[in-house]
Amino acid sequence: MMNLNAPPFSLFFHDGLQLAYFDEGDPSGAPILLIHGFASTAVVNWVHPGWVKTLGDAGFRVIAIDNRGHGNSDRPHDAEAYYPPLMAADAAALLSHLGIDRAHVMGYSMGARISAFLALEHPERVRSLIFGGLGIGLCDGVGDWDPIAEALLAPSLDDVTHARGRMFRAFADQTRSDRFALAACIQTSRLLVSREQVARIDQPTLIGVGTKDDIAGSPQELAALMQNATAIDIPGRDHMLAVGDRVFKRAALEFLAANEQA
């Protein structure tokens, strides 16, 4: 899908897949890698809500990947391709492709889960972490998503009655996503991180969740399990609207400034 506001994308290969990314902002600035959520894209999650501009204006080198199954990247229809450690390995491979040893990492929703696995399996690559749209659901799960898979596979939105299923099906249709790839992704991308694993993450972490988010779970509960984490509430925002909120952006910039020497 052509988007006039989208930065130019480049491609790299990893794990037999062609993956798309963009690399914007000050090339000499501190790199921050952005990892989008389920059924979204790098453009929808990070360009449209203003994150690329916000971070670029603050002097960062802003890199964002289209996760496998999404956007301009290859879209396998096999659920085995979508375990979060595999997508975290894609993110690490992108940093290697760009010659970047370590980066700040920010993920939203599924992207936060991928970021957690990146910090666990490739800790030397992660300077700091920002989780958006995912709190204790990282460990406890984020509810029953089987109706969402069914909604993605339904002939049309008119055939979907489940409220959350309708929300994600409408979003997938809006972004012109490959619904079969997303249905495969949702089966395996919700792999939980145990409390013991979360306790091993020692990078400075900011966790932001909307106060009306009924998917993410408590950011405070997750922060309490981690070695060096801070939770913030994003007032009056649900899962879809919290991502571009000014409170979240301000907190993220303050957090990144405080951890720039990490």
Task: Domains for the chain: give ranges and CATH numbers.
Answer: 10-141+193-258 (3.40.50.1820)
Contact assessment for residue 69 and residue 181, using Cβ atoms and an 8 Å cutoff: yes
Question: How many percent of the chain have pLDDT more than 70?
Answer: 98
- pLDDT tens digit string along 219-230? 999 999 999 999
- pLDDT tens digit string along 123-155? 999 999 999 999 999 999 987 788 998 999 999
- pLDDT tens digit string along 69-78? 999 999 999 9
pLDDT at 1 over 50: no
Amino acid at position 122, single letter: H
| Phi/psi at 189 (5° precision) | -75, -5
Quick one: angle between helices 179-188 and 163-174, nearest 10? 130
pTM of the model: 0.95
Which residues are CB-neighbours of 2 under 8 A, at least 6 positions away?
A: none
Q: Which residues pair with 130 in a beta bridge?
A: 106, 206
Among 134, 132, 133, 128, smallest CA distance to 31 is for 128
Question: How many percent of the chain have pLDDT more than 90?
Answer: 89
Q: CA torsion 248→258→114→10, rounded to 10°?
A: 90
Going by pLDDT thresholds of 50, 70 and 90, the confidence category of residue 25 is confident
For the chain, how far is it from start to end, CA to CA, in angstroms? 38
Residue count (the chain) = 262
The mean predicted confidence, pLDDT, of the chain is: 95
Going by pLDDT thresholds of 50, 70 and 90, the confidence category of residue 164 is confident
pLDDT at 2 over 60: no
Which residues are CB-neighbours of 48 under 8 A, at least 6 positions away?
A: 5, 244
pLDDT at 108 over 50: yes
